[in-house]
Structure 1
Amino acid sequence: MPRDPMHSGPEDRERIGHMLEAARDVVAFVAMRRREDVDTDAMLRRALVNALQVIGEAAARVTDSGRQRVPSLPWGKIVATRNVLVHVYWGVDHEQIWKMATTRVPEMIAALEAACDTWPLPDTPTD
């Protein structure tokens, strides 16, 4: 059965949790790093891009109702960033990756944490 984009459900809370996990990964990846490392360290660069893609993909799957629970996030920009990273991979700007990783993503974490704190995950069956 298709999901109603206006009705938030447990999937929305899970996706927001995925966004938070990936955002925390981004912050950990850039800790003790310099901007130049994005240019010279392919593993760092790919890890950042992958985590940003996860954030965007999860955001794309949050319903309108779920997005309303975290109104401070720029949902459209988050999804658009994912689309650029996936579909225009050859033109990814390392400076923009660094700015997202060191500025925008850390700013998102507080909003995501607040949403997760006030929106518990549904109980999972123990079967």
Structure 2
Amino acid sequence: MQSNNRDIASVWDMTQAIQRIQSFTNCLTFDDYLNDIRTISAVERQFEVLGEASRRISNEFRQAHPAINWQRIIGLRNIVAHRYDEVRQDILWTIIHSELAPLRVQLEALLPPLPDES
């Protein structure tokens, strides 16, 4: 299956959102995270980006890569964006520390190699 530029751009956006979440939370404990509204806001925003980019990926591309739970990613974005009063930070924290790194690896494998700069 040939991927289109929009799919690749969306996968790139997803990897960047994950990288940002990881960098925002890298040196924090859960208590530090809970006491830092700026970090919470930044993390929630990047989860929105992650889900929105996932939503923009074509059905054909998603079907070609069923190991990624696209609907779950989109669903989490919908909760963060529309049911913000129901967001449980403990669940986001668990996702950050148990699911984002493997997802990032999966997504990066879908990106074409960067051109050689030699």
TM-score, with structure 1 as normaliser: 0.82
Q: Which consecutive segments of 4 or more residues in structure 1 shift more than 6 A?
A: none
Letter in 2 for 1:111: Q
Structure 1 residue ranges without an equivalent (≥5): 1-6, 122-127
Shift of 1:102: 1.3
Which residue of structure 2 aligns with residue 4 of structure 1? none
Deviation per CA, 1:106-125, whole angstroms, max 9, x where unpaired? 1201001100136x79xxxx
Shift of 1:69: 4.1
Matches within 5 A, 1:26-37: 26-37=21-32
SS in 2 for 1:32: coil
Matched, 1:101 2:96: yes
Shift of 1:104: 1.3
Which residue of structure 2 aligns with residue 86 of structure 1? 81
Distance 2:64 2:15 in 1: 14
**Which of residues 8, 18, 22 in structure 2 aligns to 1:23?**
18
Shift of 1:8: 4.3
Structure 2 residue ranges without an equivalent (≥5): none
Distance 1:105 1:54 in 2: 14
Moved more, 49-58 or 95-104: 95-104
TM-score, with structure 2 as normaliser: 0.88
Distance 1:21 1:9 in 2: 19
CA contact (8 A) 2:25 2:33 kept: no
CA contact (8 A) 1:52 1:82 kept: yes
RMSD over aligned CA atoms reads 1.8
CA contact (8 A) 1:26 1:48 kept: yes
Distance 1:46 1:102 in 2: 17
Matched, 1:71 2:66: yes
SS in 2 for 1:117: coil
Matched, 1:117 2:112: yes
Distance 1:107 1:62 in 2: 19
Count of equivalent residues: 114
Which residue of structure 2 aligns with residue 41 of structure 1? 36
